[in-house]
Amino acid sequence: MRTALSVTSECAPLVKTGGLADVAGALPGAMAPLGWDIRTLLPGYPRVMEQAKRSKAVADIPDLFGGDAAVLKARVAGLDLYILDAPHLYDRPGTPYLDDQGYDYWDNPERFAALCWVAAEIAENGIEGWKPELLHCHDWQAGLAPYYLMKRDRPVPSLITIHNIAFQGLAPADRMGALRLDGVDFNADGIEYWGQVSALKAGLVYSDRITTVSPTYARELMTHEFGMGMEGLLQARAGDLSGILNGIDLDVWNPATDPEIATFKTARGKSRAKSRLQKEMGLAKSDGPLAVVISRLSHQKGLDLLLEALPAFLDRGGQLALLGSGDKGLERAFAEAAGHPNVAVRIGYDEALSHRMMAGGDAILVPSRFEPCGLTQLYGLRYGTIPVVAMTGGLVDTVINASPMALRSGVATGLQFGPITAHAMAGALMRLTELYAEPETWAQLQANAMRQEVGWNASAAEYAALYQEVAEPS
């Protein structure tokens, strides 16, 4: 077996705030049949430590960014983990990044620099006789690992995956010493970003290869609109940048075996799931389509556009069921929208309910202003819940628009809209109601959606080829 160390701040099912965790949790299992032994280095947050009770210490690390630490080895949920047990950095309430008041931890730069430092140590010296042939770093939290490798004469190569370039890991320049960074590298060609340190930029500069989570997002990142100030660097490294689509766990998201719903393999089963969902959410039965939203409520996700487009959809018999939380203004706006008898809103997150919504919904709405890959639309395809998506990032790469030609050719799987405006979204929702009113066309659309390959097989093969290139450059 070839060997690789995945360096990540979250990993499903142990700890998750977004799609990064799903990728970090799924990729080792998908790559194992292709000959890669991937082990995961993860911070020892309380919820991780709780699930790794049978761990054993395999390395001691004195004076790690403010305190002593250890590396624990554990196997949890089929994953081979190295857990960085550093209570002074990770034994805290809140999320991996925010305190219990919702604010960034003041020392997040040091917390994740520590993760990167230990990754570089393992890459250089191995651990308990195991040594990776490459590091796979995920997002800014792992961005300093390629930098630390560079300072150790690159004992192994590295690649970094951008899951969302909006998060860049910034720190004041006066933290350089605390982060064990060399002042000579604080310049435009190194780790400096508008007078600050950027952990993400460090990863983009010093890694051997750069990936992101869809081909379209890779192209978008080299533009001013989407590059978030990193577009020039990514243009310069265009030959090292590639986009590989995410997949989903086909066992967790399987309409035939999902424990949260009654098994359905036919339109009749889908209809029963819809009726149960309407009853649960307090919606009356309707002749129109039931659209669902399962999302973080934020400007990025474009849900303010949905609020503007919603009245026209409701006027034509549509219904909306939303599950999500985030921006308080959007939470209040959707709570007010729920005053309409055909709108149901649950503020918060409920994994089991998300499965029931995916099963019972007719359509899943994803109006994101930018979306590196997106997983929600993939769940929709799997469950025959037709995606209605904005034309951006991975949404473009995974949903085939129901144009007249695509419908005649029998390949359409959903609806795309652009430009990304409320007016364009309203047009897509009108089109949704028209298609739903044509039973044969709608059934064909559902069948097409459920036939799509949304698992990890194709993507894992692309990652395996990339790993091979990185580990054995010509």
Measured distance CA(244)–CA(299) in Å, rounded: 25
Sheet with 196-198, side-by-side order of all strands: 170-172, 196-198, 192-193
Q: How many CB atoms lie within 10 A of CB 461?
A: 14
Among candidate residues 402, 423, 296, the one with its CA nearest the CA of residue 347: 296
Residue type, 21: A
Q: How many CB atoms lie within 10 A of CB 183?
A: 10
Strand partners, 158: 135
Dihedral angle computed from the Cα positions of residues 458, 462, 464 and 469, in that order, rounded to the nearest 10 degrees: 170
Q: Dump the DSSP string for 303-335.
A: HHHHHHHHHHHHHTT-EEEEEEEE-HHHHHHHH
Sheet with 415-417, side-by-side order of all strands: 343-347, 319-326, 290-297, 363-366, 386-390, 415-417
Among candidate residues 422, 296, 270, 297, the one with its CA nearest the CA of residue 357: 270
User: Would you call 196 helix, strand, or coil by DSSP?
Assistant: strand
For CA atoms 275, 277, 281, 283, give the dihedral sign. Answer: negative
C-alpha distances in angstroms, 341 versus 179, 227, 288, 314?
A: 54, 41, 14, 10
The DSSP letter of residue 344 is E
376 Cα distance to chain centroid: 10
Measured distance CA(450)–CA(81) in Å, rounded: 34
Q: Dump the DSSP string for 207-223.
A: SSEEEES-HHHHHHTTS
Measured distance CA(417)–CA(427) in Å, rounded: 8
Measured distance CA(169)–CA(172) in Å, rounded: 10
Judge contact between 1 and 28, C-beta under 8 A.
no
Tokens of 252: 């967790």
Measured distance CA(277)–CA(262) in Å, rounded: 12
Residue with tokens 């991975």: 394
**Residues 6 or more apart whose Cβ sits within 8 Å of residue 376:** 294, 295, 364, 366, 387
Measured distance CA(157)–CA(206) in Å, rounded: 10
State yes or no: 16 annotated in a binding site: yes
> Residues annotated as binding site?
16
> Residues annotated as binding site for ADP-alpha-D-glucose?
16
